[in-house]
Amino acid sequence: MAKVIHSMIRVLDLEKSMKFYADVLDLHESHRLDFPDFALVYLRNAENDVEIELTLNKGRTEAYTHGTGYGHVGVVVPDVAAAHAALLAKGYEPAPVKEFKRGDELLARFCFIQDPDGYKIELLERHGHYQ
């Protein structure tokens, strides 16, 4: 049986991206592989077995494109309104908190934020399917 272990994204400024992921998702370096042309930095926290792999291609100055296929990474938080307020207090600009409903039934409460390279992250309140 397969086990998901990481999702990789390419970044232009490794330190800026590491700060963002620490501030926003409490993800910190768990492993690093540094080579002359590139570096791989794996991020995680105590809540996760899955890691985000930041890939820095050294010497690249041109921004990466995301095309039309990439969507987002989803994470759960205990209280999305509190997480949203904390991000604003740190100087980040998350999108407004929204609710997804079927009739009167709340399916999800969420907001999005983009990392320094434009990758979207969905913060979902721990509820229903999103545990």
What does the DSSP assignment read for 80-112? HHHHHHHHHHTT--PPPPEEEEETTEEEEEEEE
Which one, of 24, 27, 37, lies nearest residue 6 by Cα?
Answer: 27
pTM flag (> 0.75): yes
pLDDT tens digits, 58-77: 999 999 998 877 889 999 99
Tell me, rounded to whole angstroms, the distance of Cα 34 from its chain centroid: 22
The CATH class for the domain spanning 72-131 reads: alpha beta
Tell me, rounded to whole angstroms, the distance of Cα 76 from its chain centroid: 11
Tell me what the mean pLDDT of segment 13-21 comes to: 97
Q: Give the pLDDT confidence score for residue 119 in this predicted structure.
A: 95
- Cβ-proximal residues to 21 (8 Å cutoff; 6+ apart), any chain: 27, 43, 52, 54, 115
For the chain, domain boundaries:
1-60, 72-131
Could you please state the CATH topology (level 3) that the domain comprising 1-60 is classified under. Answer: 2,3-Dihydroxybiphenyl 1,2-Dioxygenase; domain 1 (3.10.180)
Is 122 labeled as catalytic in the residue annotation?
yes
